[in-house]
Amino acid sequence: MTGSKNRQRTHFEEEALRYHMRDGVPGKVALAPTKPLLTQRDLALAYSPGVAAPCLEIAEDPATAYDYTAKGNVVAVISNGTAVLGLGKLGALASKPVMEGKAVLFKRFADIDAVDIEVDTADVDEFINAVRYLGPSWGGINLEDIGAPECFIIEQRLKELMDIPIFHDDQHGTAIICAAGLINAADIKGCKIEDMTVVVNGAGAAGIACLDLMISMGVKNYYLCDRTGIIHKDRDDLNQWKSAYAVKTERRTLGEALEGADVFLGLSAKGAVTKEMVKGMAKNPIIFAMANPDPEITPEEVAEVRDDAIVATGRSDYNNQVNNVMGFPYIFRGALDVRATKINEEMKIAAAKALAKLAREDVPDEVAVAYQGRKMVYGPDYIIPTPFDPRLIYTIPIAVAKAAEKSGVAGKPIEDYDEYKKRLQGRLNPTANSMSLIFEQLHEKPKKVIFADGEEEKTIRAAMQWVNNGYGKAILVGREKKINETMDKLGFSETADREKLEITNASLSKKVDEYIDFLYDRLKRRGYLQRDVIRMVKNDRNTFSACMLSCGDGDTLITGLVRGYTRSLQDIMLVLDPKEEKTVFGMSMILAQNRTLFMSDTNVHEVPTAEQLADIACMTAAKARKFGHEPRVAILSYSNFGMPQLEKAERIREAVSILDSRKVDFEYDGEMAVDVALNPDLMKLYPFCRLSGPANILIMPNLHAANLSSKLLQQLSGGTVVGPVLEGLEKHAQIIPMGAKVSDILNAAALASI
């Protein structure tokens, strides 16, 4: 637990360090080629001599760099480490994890390839020159974690010197989301923005940018405050950036500024605003307390003195989160797609208005389900969309692109916005987004998870993450002494960490007799003696854990880390029943290269019957729909539509006939080989094929093919394999693969819980 310079690391810090070193691959980003590089000809085309052709084209016409290179989809995330998060001046190298993290967010939310650049100088001129001369490399620049006031100078000078979008997210990202919320809050309050008095507390980069954008949107009456108080004309300690917002007033303190004010925007520190200050604000006050991790005043504190306030914070555990991730990825997406030369005020305001408009529309079902504990209807508690709203990817970029065109900074306007919207929708992997929404749903409706392999280090780490992330409670099944020894090794504190986890020993549990009676009553007509059941419940953690689940002492069961899948399934199915008229099967989800495949049955039926294949196809299609995919089911075989004729393919053909008779509401076909199912060019050879495009659901002919294929993809694809997810059981249980990572255990627990 000891960090550098003998600093004691917290458990969360330890987990963060493990995450950044996981799988023996340091960091969070990597480079992957987008063209084949297998043959000598591929290499000749990619490099010498083939690369000369695009070089000559670009030399003749620089705009063709967007056609022949990746420039148009690359953003540089650049810092000098002078203001890293809330940690201060850590230096360029120490800022790299943050810049890599920002690059990951660009890819995750907007499919933009971002590269982190750390410039090791605090000198403004040196920094500007380093960036400007590297400018031809990228389509845009996201400045990050640069201290004020240098960040103002750097951004302005780079905008003047370069012809690509320059955006300092610490300033403008917060401002844009804040502006969206203010548009809607003003509407609910029944005021025009230009008639409201706005108080901004925090005169750093974000605070000044927020006020600047508000002024662009029409705000006339405002106070900007710093640690000293109101920035007014009589102060002699103001730099040029603060002095630009100095007002003539007799008021001096933040409290005086808030008297009768309509809006408070906080980008300062915890506790900066008191309940007394809030009492003195105007009717229906708008309070955006955005200090992180703790706001200037909490929504609960506001509610104690005002029942008419509209409140937003920077935190996800409150309504109305001001989160930059709803801004910068999509703003750059739109700017890059029209080859904008800058991100101007018109584009920022367009993004804010599009966000505000989105909050007034019906919320998608998958988002509403994820936030069941909140009222997701336009009003005081919902003025800003959530970060995982799938509409963001095709709403904000379009608004930004149109604003760029209208303001004359678009180098290549969009010709067909309907087609552009479809392209944008295709950039978001619905499964990845659905997994995020599942974890959000757990915040709203936490679950109690039983971890059968409670003595294992990975299980303990996963259980602690489950609790620390607010997903619910965790029960570790195992010997308390052994678990405590492992916790010692992991560096858990004696009280704060350990009290979060419940430990239960099968042989010492106060409820063991209840579980024995339950299981004996269930198995006595299957040839089991009472002593057999006693031994099973007291000595087998899977049996004991499944009894806990069946008797209502937990919501979800996770097992399989130290015991094979088949054995684990046999253990828990002695205790758990299938859902009525449902087939139990295993489904794996493969997420790779912005594409998701659902594969069934990967773990249960050795040779499924035609009826079982049809059942599995229907249940997998229903699951895919829940993850935002329109099902296209391929029932796989060695043969393609009867060629070659194989007797063993008869049940595949029969499964298709069963689906025909059921008149299902999704696309399906078979029997077909996997390459035909996935390759649109090969599929064209069979014009009668019922699938409108490559299959996204693969129903495998037998357990061997399914299990081998899923494990090969897991080891070789470079993507993420979620599962196998156990479907069809009456109770929520998941069996993870032996050797699963901590993240796999968490994913399984989340899927089982929802």
The residues spanned by each domain of the chain are 1-30, 70-164, 172-428, 439-573, 585-728
Within this chain, domains 172-428 and 439-573 share the same CATH topology: yes
Strand 720-727 versus strand 585-592 pairing type? antiparallel
Strand 229-230 versus strand 221-226 pairing type? antiparallel
pLDDT in tens, 624-645: 888 878 899 999 988 888 777 7
**pTM of model > 0.85:** no
pLDDT reading at 280 higher than 50: yes
Name the CATH topology of 172-428. Answer: Rossmann fold (3.40.50)
Sign of CA dihedral 445, 451, 454, 457: negative
| Percent of the chain with pLDDT strictly greater than 90 | 51
Average pLDDT on 571-579 reads 88
Give the separation between CA 474 and CA 84, rounded to whole angstroms: 34
Average pLDDT on 660-669 reads 93
Average pLDDT on 405-413 reads 95
pLDDT reading at 19 higher than 80: no
| 593 pLDDT tier (thresholds 50, 70, 90) | low
> What strands, in cross-sheet order, belong to the sheet with 310-313?
229-230, 221-226, 197-201, 263-266, 286-289, 310-313
> What strands, in cross-sheet order, belong to the sheet with 140-143?
113-118, 74-79, 140-143, 166-168
SS3 115: strand
**Between 3.30.70.590, 3.40.50.10750, 3.40.50.1220, 3.90.1310.10, what CATH number should domain 585-728 receive?**
3.40.50.10750
CA-CA distances (angstroms) from residue 227 to 4, 203, 253, 273?
33, 9, 9, 12
Report pLDDT for 503: 92
Instruction: Give the bridge partners for 556, in sequence order.
Output: 449
Closest CA to 696 of 607, 582, 591: 591
pLDDT in tens, 515-565: 999 999 988 888 889 998 899 999 899 999 999 999 999 999 999 888 888
Report pLDDT for 164: 95
Lowest mean pLDDT among 40-49, 103-112, 365-374, 604-613: 365-374
SS3 151: helix
| 2 pLDDT tier (thresholds 50, 70, 90) | very low
Mean pLDDT of the chain: 88
Report pLDDT for 352: 94
Structure tokens at 623: 């699951």
| Percent of the chain with pLDDT strictly greater than 70 | 96
SS (H, E, C) 693-727: CCCCEEECCCHHHHHHHHHHHHHHCCCEEEEEEEE
| Residue 442 region by backbone torsions, left for phi larger than 0, else alpha for psi between -120 and 50, else beta | alpha
Name the CATH topology of 70-164. Answer: Rossmann fold (3.40.50)
19, 47, 68, 133: the catalytic one is 47
pLDDT in tens, 717-726: 556 777 788 8
CB 749 within 8 A of CB 734: yes
Tell me yes or no: is domain 439-573 CATH 3.40.50.10950.
yes
pLDDT reading at 373 higher than 70: no
Give the separation between CA 671 and CA 634, rounded to whole angstroms: 8
222 is catalytic: no
Report pLDDT for 1: 45
Closest CA to 320 of 390, 393, 380, 389: 380
Average pLDDT on 369-388 reads 82
CB 456 within 8 A of CB 562: yes
Give the separation between CA 138 and CA 140, rounded to whole angstroms: 6
Average pLDDT on 115-121 reads 95
28, 71, 96, 102: the catalytic one is 102
47 is catalytic: yes
Closest CA to 94 of 84, 109, 105: 84
